Amino acid sequence: MKEFQSFFKTVKGNEGNKCHYPTRLDTYGCGCQHDCKYCYAKSLLDFRKLWNASEPSVVNIQKVHRTIRRNLKEGDIVRLGGMTDCFQPLERHHRATFHTIEELNKQNIGYLIVTKSDMVADDDYMALMRKDLAHIQITVTCTDDSFCRLYEKATPPTKRIAAIEKLQSAGFDVQLRLSPYIPQFIEKGVLDMGIINNVQCDKILVEFLRVNTWIRKWFNIDYSDYTFNQSGYIHMPLELKIKYLSLIKGFKELTVCEDVSEHYDYWQRKVNPNRDDCCNLRKNMSF
């Protein structure tokens, strides 16, 4: 098993300027067993032969603990799983994410977990995570368990939804992360907005699909709505995003994570409940 060395990074540029949590700690790298066909990380690393989906590299946990102690302080929030999923199946054996959270708890540092796995809601992780420090976003991209297997090898969506509801009812700061939101799946009958709108969760975060040459090659959908070019990616125009966003109903809070500068301004002004934090995390940290 290779060691993943570049596990700690503060993202800069277009994305870093918009994101309120640009500091990332990835417990697994250079590959992700979920192997999603629309994966941005894969599209940036695969052509340089730096991506191995079946055998990702794993951090040295002692180095992670030292890095946390040296670079983060009480009250910070670090993002776990920004580049690859920190709850991919490897975690069951290596427990690198588990031991990272242990250290973050010790240092009173918050953590934003982004995952497509229901492992985060297993009893041992729920007992480990502190409600004042943990912020969890579980990603859902369609509502059809069999269709999902065609383009991502993560936990089936029905189980992800059950995990969201378990965390919500236990009082965690949890969000359904509809990311990427692919409205083309609605027509196809594999993204049922009735199911999404019925998820028992207070908060939803939406991030629309953006496409580059590699993703377009691997992920076969109808791209006729994707006509807006910016920074090497093709997006849907804002009017269409607004139209599709209106299909999301019933959540107490809806927020949009966005890459396109003009669209980001619009969501900030008109939609997002927290103008300074498009992740819309609950801030109740008290030590």
Does residue 206 bind ligand SF4 (CB under 6 A)? Answer: no
Task: Transcribe 34-69 into DSSP letters.
Answer: T--TT-HHHHHHGGGT---SSS-EE--HHHHHHHHH
Does residue 210 bind ligand SF4 (CB under 6 A)? Answer: no
**Entry field: residues in the chain:** 287
Point out which span in 38-46, 231-239, 265-273, 275-283 binds ligand SF4 (CB under 6 A): 38-46
Does residue 116 bind ligand SF4 (CB under 6 A)? Answer: yes
Does residue 32 bind ligand SF4 (CB under 6 A)? Answer: yes
Least distance from C-beta 35 to ligand SF4, angstroms?
5
Is 173:136 a contact under the CB 8 Å cutoff?
A: yes
Residue whose CB is less far from ligand SF4, 37 or 282 = 37
Q: Please list the residues that pair with 106 across neighbouring strands.
A: none
Residue whose CB is less far from ligand SF4, 44 or 238 = 44
Does residue 259 bind ligand SF4 (CB under 6 A)? Answer: no
Residue whose CB is less far from ligand SF4, 177 or 238 = 177
Q: Is 154 helix (H, G, I), strand (E, B) or coil?
A: coil
Q: How many CB atoms lie within 10 A of CB 137?
A: 26
Task: Transcribe 189-232 into DSSP letters.
Answer: TSS-HHHHHT-S-SEEEEEE--B-HHHHHHS-S--TT--EEETT
Point out which span in 30-38, 62-70, 187-195, 226-234 binds ligand SF4 (CB under 6 A): 30-38
Q: How many CB atoms lie within 10 A of CB 265?
A: 12
Q: Applying CB under 6 A, which of residues 7, 24, 30, 34 lies at the interface with ligand SF4?
A: 34
DSSP class of residue 109 equals -
User: Rounded distance, CA 258 to CA 265, Å?
Assistant: 9
Contacts of residue 168, defined as CB under 8 A and 6 or more positions apart, other chains included, come to: 174, 200, 201, 202
Point out which span in 35-43, 182-190, 229-237, 275-283 binds ligand SF4 (CB under 6 A): 35-43
Point out which span in 32-40, 205-213, 247-255, 264-272 binds ligand SF4 (CB under 6 A): 32-40
Least distance from C-beta 74 to ligand SF4, angstroms?
29
Residue whose CB is less far from ligand SF4, 152 or 173 = 152
Which residues contribute to the site for ligand SF4 (CB under 6 A)?
Answer: 32, 34-36, 39, 41-42, 84-85, 116, 152, 154
